[in-house]
Amino acid sequence: MWDVAIVGAGPSGSVAAYLLAKKGYKTLILDKNSFPRYKPCGGGVTLKAGKLLNEIGLPIEPVDAFHKEVLVKGFGLEIEVRTSSGEYAIAVVRRNLFDKRLLDEAISEGAVFKRAKVLGVKREGDAIRLVGINEASRVVVGADGANSVVAVTSGLRSRWSREDIIFAIEGVSQPHEKLTFMVDAAPYGYGWIFPRGKDSNAGVGGMLEKSKEIKRSFDRLAARYKVVKAHSWIISIGGHDKSIAGRSVFLVGDAAGLADPLTGEGLYYAIRSSLEVSESLDHEEPELEYRKRMEPVMRELKEKRRAARIIMPRIKFFFKLFVAYPEIAERYMLTSIGRVEFRDFWRWSISKLPRALIKEKLGI
C-alpha cells in the first residue's frame, strides 16, 4: 500500500509529489495523460508564484520570457505598471514543458508515476482504494483539476455550480512586444496577450454564464491578433467556502477551486496548496492542520470573490479609476506579487472612491 497517492500530475500534483517523496513518503502519482501533455493556459507565472517555487527548490523552468512591464488597456485608455523592485511581474512558460519538468523532478525524488485514469475513491478500512485501477493508499491527494473526481466521490464537495466557473479560450498568436491585459475584451472578464519570444499566448476568459459572448470575444481577438490553435477549458473559483480535506483525502489546486476570481491566476494557489499539504501530513491531525494553514489563502480568495462581484459589472468605471490614480495600479502590483494583502489594497482603493465619483460626475 502507498503512503500517498496523488491523482493528477499538473503543477499541484507534481509539486506535492516532489515534496512528499523528498520527505520519504512512498508516493504514487497518477495522470490519465502521458507527459508532456497540452493544458490550456496562458502560462503566466506571477512573481509571487515564482518566489514560492524558488523557496521550494524548484525555480521556474523552462521560461520563455520574463516581463517587467504589464500594459493594461481598454475603453480607449491604457496604463503601464511594473514592480517597484525592478523584478519581473510575470514570467511566461509553456505548460507542456513546465508541467513535464515538475513531474520529472518529483520522479527524481522517488515518486512513482503511472498513467491511469482514476474513476473515484472509496474508503476500505484504513485505506483508500482508487477506483478504476488496482491501487490503494493511506492518504489521497486530489490534484485532478477543475472536474476533480476525487473531490466529488470522496464526498468533500458536490460539482461546481455555474457561477463558480470561469470559462477561458486561448491560442497561439504572433510575437508581441508587451505583455498586455485588455479589460474590455470580454464581458465579466478580460483578454490577454502573453509574449514568449517567438510567439505569444493570447486568449479571453470570463464567467461561464457568459460563455457565448466569450466565444464571440475570442473570435474578435483571433481575427485581430491572428490567433490559431484554440483550446478552451475551465477554471474553478468556488473553493474558498468548500471543504478541502477530510478522512485522509486532501484537495489541492483547481480540484479545490483555488484560483483568483479577479484574474483566473491558478498556478500560485496550486503550488501553495500543495506545499501546505506536504507540511500538514507530518502532523498528528493533518486535515485540521491543512485547513488551518490554508485559512489566510481562503480568506484572500473570499475577499477577491466579493471584490470581483463589485468590479466586473462596472469594469469601465473601475478601470478609469485605475488609470486616473496610478498609485492604485502600483499598489495592485504589490498585491499580485505578494507584498501587500489584498484586503488592505481593497480598503485603501475604496477610500479613493468618493473623490473619484465626484470627479466623474463633474467630468474633471
Ligand X SMILES: Cc1cc2nc3c(=O)[nH]c(=O)nc-3n(C[C@H](O)[C@H](O)[C@H](O)COP(=O)(O)OP(=O)(O)OC[C@H]3O[C@@H](n4cnc5c(N)ncnc54)[C@H](O)[C@@H]3O)c2cc1C
Least Å distance, CB 186 to ligand X, is 12
Least Å distance, CB 45 to ligand X, is 6
Least Å distance, CB 268 to ligand X, is 6
Cβ-in-10-Å burial (0-12, 13-18, 19+) of 296 comes to exposed
Residue 2 lies near ligand X (rule: CB under 6 A): no
Among 41, 111, 277, 312, indicate the residue that binds ligand X (CB under 6 A).
Answer: 41
Rg of the chain over all Cα atoms, to the nearest angstrom: 20
Least Å distance, CB 102 to ligand X, is 9
Cβ neighbours of residue 39 closer than 8 Å, sequence gap 6 or more: 10, 95, 96, 99, 233
Residue 107 to residue 20: CA distance in whole angstroms: 11
Among 2, 10, 245, 346, indicate the residue that binds ligand X (CB under 6 A).
Answer: 10
Among 50, 142, 145, 261, indicate the residue that binds ligand X (CB under 6 A).
Answer: 145
Least Å distance, CB 132 to ligand X, is 8
Q: Please choose, out of 33-41, 54-62, 237-245, 326-334, the segment that lies near ligand X by the rule CB under 6 A.
A: 33-41
Among 50, 74, 206, 266, indicate the residue that binds ligand X (CB under 6 A).
Answer: 266
Closest-by-Cβ residue to ligand X is 266
Among 64, 105, 265, 276, indicate the residue that binds ligand X (CB under 6 A).
Answer: 265
Least Å distance, CB 75 to ligand X, is 23
Residue 337 lies near ligand X (rule: CB under 6 A): no
Least Å distance, CB 364 to ligand X, is 37
Beta bridge mates, 233? 168
Residue 141: left (phi > 0), alpha (psi -120 to 50), or beta?
Answer: beta
Residue 219 to residue 227: CA distance in whole angstroms: 9
Residue 31 lies near ligand X (rule: CB under 6 A): yes
**Pick from 112, 116, 212: which is nearest to 169 by CA?**
212
SS3 (DSSP) at 82: strand
Residue 128 lies near ligand X (rule: CB under 6 A): no
Among 5, 17, 42, 328, indicate the residue that binds ligand X (CB under 6 A).
Answer: 42
Q: Count of H helices and E strands in the chain?
A: 11, 18
Residue 287 lies near ligand X (rule: CB under 6 A): no
Least Å distance, CB 258 to ligand X, is 8
* Count, residues in the chain: 364
Q: Please choose, out of 41-49, 220-228, 290-298, 321-329, the segment that lies near ligand X by the rule CB under 6 A.
A: 41-49
Q: Which amino acid is at 170?
A: E
Cβ neighbours of residue 300 closer than 8 Å, sequence gap 6 or more: 341, 342, 343
Residue 12 lies near ligand X (rule: CB under 6 A): yes
Residue 262 lies near ligand X (rule: CB under 6 A): no
Edge-to-edge, what's the strand order for the sheet holding 44-46? 44-46, 90-92, 65-67
Q: Please choose, out of 249-257, 275-283, 297-305, 314-322, the segment that lies near ligand X by the rule CB under 6 A.
A: 249-257
**Pick from 154, 232, 158, 225: which is nearest to 193 by CA?**
225
Residue 221 lies near ligand X (rule: CB under 6 A): no
Residue 173 to residue 160: CA distance in whole angstroms: 31
Residue 337 to residue 81: CA distance in whole angstroms: 12
Quick one: 73 or 95, whose CB is closer to ligand X?
95
Residue 151 lies near ligand X (rule: CB under 6 A): no
Residue 8 to residue 99: CA distance in whole angstroms: 11
The footprint of ligand X (CB under 6 A) covers 7-13, 30-33, 39-44, 117-118, 143-145, 149, 168, 170, 203, 233, 235, 253-255, 259, 264-267, 270
